[in-house]
């Protein structure tokens, strides 16, 4: 696959993705605001920012188009952004592929929960009805996966550098 492209909210492929995944509502472009966080830690960064600045973490999907010689595919990553106390949604996590915007669909049902051995996370979603779920770029038949945090893992080290408490990671009523 190539570097992802930012689709328009009204693209036909985005509409297909919405239909395949039974979503309603509209996706919106959000601006990335540099708050010092690293790529790929959106759930932690958004929650940390909400705890520090007020507001809340909002779950949803960052929607991308990937194009190669065989065609294109929409892949939406389970993503979190910060909702400022004013109600404005802001992406505080830099897109891993660069850029200054994302296409975001809010999904308050895309929560993170605590399990006995880690955190229950959503797999990525595609616009292909015969392959609607992906994890790490590979098709999977399940909707959820388990994020297990090991002491000294990259996630744990990043949380430690930020002063983030893993007890705050699951979705909560107050801070998302």
Q: Is residue 174 assigned to a domain?
A: no
Structure tokens at 125: 């979603």
Tell me the pLDDT tens digit for each residue of 139-168. 999 999 999 999 999 999 999 999 999 999
* Any domain includes 119: yes
Domain total of the chain: 1
Assigned domain for 1 exists: no
Asked, for residue 38, whether it belongs to a domain, the answer is yes
Q: Specify the pTM.
A: 0.94
155 belongs to a structural domain = yes
What domain range includes position 160?
Answer: 12-168
pLDDT for 68 equals 86
């Amino acid at each position: 696959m190539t570097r992802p492209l930012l689709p328009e909210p009204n693209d036909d492929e985005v509409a297909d993705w919405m239909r395949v995944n039974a979503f309603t509502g509209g996706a919106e472009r959000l601006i990335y605001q540099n708050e010092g966080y690293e790529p790929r830690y959106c759930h932690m960064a958004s929650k940390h920012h909400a705890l520090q600045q007020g507001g809340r973490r909002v779950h949803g999907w960052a929607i991308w188009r990937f194009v190669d010689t065989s065609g294109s595919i929409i892949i939406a990553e389970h993503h979190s952004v910060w909702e400022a106390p004013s109600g404005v949604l802001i992406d505080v996590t830099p897109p891993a592929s660069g850029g200054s915007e994302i296409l975001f669909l809010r999904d308050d049902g895309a929560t993170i929960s605590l399990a006995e051995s880690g955190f229950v996370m959503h797999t990525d979603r595609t616009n292909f009805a015969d392959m609607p779920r992906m994890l790490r770029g590979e098709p999977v038949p399940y909707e959820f996966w388990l994020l297990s945090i090991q002491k000294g893992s990259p996630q744990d080290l990043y949380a430690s550098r930020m002063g983030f408490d893993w007890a705050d990671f699951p979705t909560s009523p107050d801070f998302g």
